[in-house]
C-alpha cells in the first residue's frame, strides 16, 4: 500500500500517511473554505488501511490553526481510526500536539477526546 503524501499550502496541512511505519501525520494549518474535498483522499486511504493495518498506528495531529469547516472532517478521520482501533486489528494512539500558550488548541483536542474512543495523548510542543 502506498504512502499518502500531500504538500501543505497556506490553507491546507501537510499530510503524511506512511503505511509501512503505521505513522500518520497531519501538520500545519487547515483552513480551507470547503474541507470535504481536501479530506476525502485521507478518508479513502484509511478505508484501504483498515483492511491491512499495522499492529500499532501512531497518529500525530500537529495543527497550528483549523477552522470549523475542517473540524467535522477531522472528526471523520478520527471515526475511521476509532473503528480500526475497536476492530482490534491495530492499536491506535492519537498524539494531539499543542503549543504552550495555545489553550484553545488543547481544548479542541479535549473536545475530540471526549467524543472518540481512542487513547489520546496531549503533547506539549516546544515553541
Instruction: Tell the smallest beta-carbon distance from residue 21 to other proteins (Å).
Output: 30
C-alpha cell at 41: 483522499
Nearer to other proteins, 90 or 113 (CB): 113
Nearer to other proteins, 23 or 65 (CB): 65
Query: Among residues 31 and 118, whose Cβ is nearest to other proteins?
Result: 31
User: CB neighbours (10 Å) of residue 47?
Assistant: 12
Question: Which residue lies nearer to other proteins by CB, 10 or 51?
Answer: 10
- Compute the distance between CA of residue 120 and CA of residue 89 in angstroms, rounded to an integer: 18
Binding footprint of other proteins on the chain (CB under 8 A): 10-11, 31, 33-34, 36, 65, 67-69, 71-72, 75, 99, 101-105, 107, 111, 114-115, 127
Q: How many angstroms separate the CA atoms of 87 and 4, rounded?
A: 23
Selection from 103, 97, 81 nearest residue 28 by Cα: 97
Q: How near is the Cβ of 98 to other proteins at its closest, in Å?
A: 11
Q: What is the DSSP string of 102-114?
A: -HHHHHHHHHHHH
CB of 112 to other proteins, least distance (A): 9
Query: Are the C-beta atoms of 24 and 16 separated by less than 8 Å?
Result: yes
Cβ 111 to other proteins, closest distance in Å?
5
Amino acid at each position: 500500500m502506498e504512502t499518502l503524501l500531500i504538500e501543505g499550502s497556506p490553507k491546507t496541512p501537510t499530510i503524511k500517511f506512511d503505511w509501512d511505519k503505521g505513522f500518520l501525520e497531519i501538520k500545519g494549518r487547515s483552513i480551507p473554505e470547503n474541507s470535504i474535498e481536501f479530506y476525502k483522499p485521507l478518508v479513502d486511504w484509511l478505508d484501504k488501511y483498515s483492511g491491512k493495518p499495522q499492529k500499532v498506528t501512531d497518529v500525530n495531529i500537529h495543527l497550528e490553526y483549523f477552522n470549523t469547516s475542517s473540524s467535522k472532517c477531522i472528526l471523520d478521520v478520527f471515526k475511521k481510526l476509532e473503528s480500526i482501533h475497536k476492530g482490534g486489528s491495530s492499536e491506535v494512539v492519537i498524539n494531539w500536539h499543542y503549543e504552550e500558550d495555545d489553550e484553545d488548541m488543547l481544548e479542541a483536542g479535549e473536545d475530540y477526546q471526549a467524543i472518540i474512543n481512542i487513547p489520546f495523548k496531549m503533547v506539549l510542543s516546544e515553541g
